[in-house]
Amino acid sequence: MSVWAARAAAAERAVHTRHLRRVWGLPGTRLGGISWPADWSGGRLAHWHYWWQAHLLDCTIDAYHRAPTQWRRETIAALACGVRVRNITGWVNDYYDDIAWLGLALQRGATLAGLRKPGAERAIMRRLRSGRGPSGGMRWRVGDDFVNVPATGPAAILYARRGNLGIAASLTDWVLTHLVDPDTGLVFDGARVNPDGSVRTVERAVYSYCQGVLLGACVELGTATGAPRWWRQAEATVHAVAEHLTDGGVLLGHGGGDGGLFTGILARYLALAAVALPSGEVAARLVLDSAEAAWRNRGVADGGPVFGPQWTVPAQPPGPGLAERDLSVQLSGWMLLEAAAGLSMGPS
């Protein structure tokens, strides 16, 4: 076992030990409690963070890809079941980014672990088809005029992996047309669009998450089509990240809550780019340097390592009001270490 695989396994054990529990005591189900140590509501999964659970599922699939075991396979199945049970009304909700993430995780679960959920796949794709705004991008949620990269990017990746390359290219081109900052090469968060599809205002916030999903979409399209423009854009995005979203070569974080997942997502797609790009050294170095920093600055608590929201800063013991308590932050650290471990294994 490589050192990165061993570290990823330690992060996996920590998250599973602290956060995993049955949904309302039902056998055959698992979900992640959103905080540890858990309060009353967190311990009973009263707060529902759908997309965090999609990434918990995806990280567990990473672990299975790294070291296939029966208990990991059973955990993947239980997590998928847990999402369906806890979502109550079905597989989907009103947020297109949420369901795209679950679609990607379920697709990987089918490909890598042989665990197919055809009913879930159909429901997710049916809902995503209704989510494309008049502008050509993906709405953030049902009925919204906000078309953003966090929804458009993962949907483009999912469409590309399913072979719907025209839709994937159209979604990605919308982002490239409307949301790339000409000064930095980074992509903005999203845009408010009019009923005719014209852009009314651009939300100019810059998040690591958005760079990651644009990169992922370009890598998928480049791999599928061989078109040089996708590889050129992927290279440009990697270099923009290296120049503007790092501290001493380490990827910048976005605090706790939902932001806790953002930079782990970027690390996931940087690792895939490092394998796929003709010259992936910059992407690989960003992942490995960030993973080294996160491991060096980890804390230790019951179950194993604790990661902070910014990997250049020593993690604090998880406690009330601290980002280290959030499942999102710990998933991001785990995702980063799986990305580092996976660099020698190729794309997944």
pLDDT at position 341: 97
Task: Sketch the domain layout of the chain as residue ranges.
Answer: 131-237
Q: Cβ contacts of residue 177 below 8 Å, gap of 6+? A: none
Q: Which tops the pLDDT comparison, 141 or 134? A: 141
pLDDT at position 348: 52
Q: Cβ contacts of residue 195 below 8 Å, gap of 6+? A: 134
Angle among Cα 59, 65, 68 to the nearest 5 degrees reads: 110
pLDDT at position 278: 87
Give the count of beta carbons closer than 10 Å to the beta carbon of residue 262: 23
- Determine the 3-state secondary structure of 130 from DSSP: coil
pLDDT band at 43 (very low <50, low <70, confident <90, very high): low
Residue 101 has pLDDT above 70, yes or no: yes
Structural contact between residues 90 and 123, judged by C-beta atoms closer than 8 angstroms: yes
Return d(Cα 143, Cα 146) in angstroms, integer: 9
One DSSP character per residue, 69-130 reads -HHHHHHHHHHHHHHHHHH-S-S--SBHHHHHHHHHHHHHHHHHH----HHHHHHHHHHHHT
Return d(Cα 282, Cα 335) in angstroms, integer: 19
User: Hey, CA dihedral for 310, 294, 215, 323, is it positive or negative?
Assistant: negative
- Determine the 3-state secondary structure of 138 from DSSP: strand
- Integer-rounded Cα Rg, in Å, for the chain is 19
**What are the tokens at 180?**
């790339």
pLDDT at position 226: 96
pLDDT (average), residues 237-246: 98
pLDDT at position 181: 98
For the ranges 6-15, 131-140, 144-153, which has the lowest average pLDDT?
Answer: 131-140
How many residues does the structure list for the chain? 348
**Which strands form 190-193's sheet, in the order they lie side by side?**
146-148, 190-193, 199-203
Token match 């080294």: residue? 292
pLDDT at position 279: 84
Q: How far is CA 85 from the centre of its chain?
A: 22
Residue 86 has pLDDT above 80, yes or no: yes
Q: Which tops the pLDDT comparison, 26 or 344? A: 26
Nearest to 127 by CA among 165, 98, 87: 98
Rounded alpha-carbon distances, angstroms, from residue 157 to 57, 70, 80, 344: 17, 28, 20, 22
Nearest to 231 by CA among 239, 244, 250: 239
Structural contact between residues 30 and 82, judged by C-beta atoms closer than 8 angstroms: yes
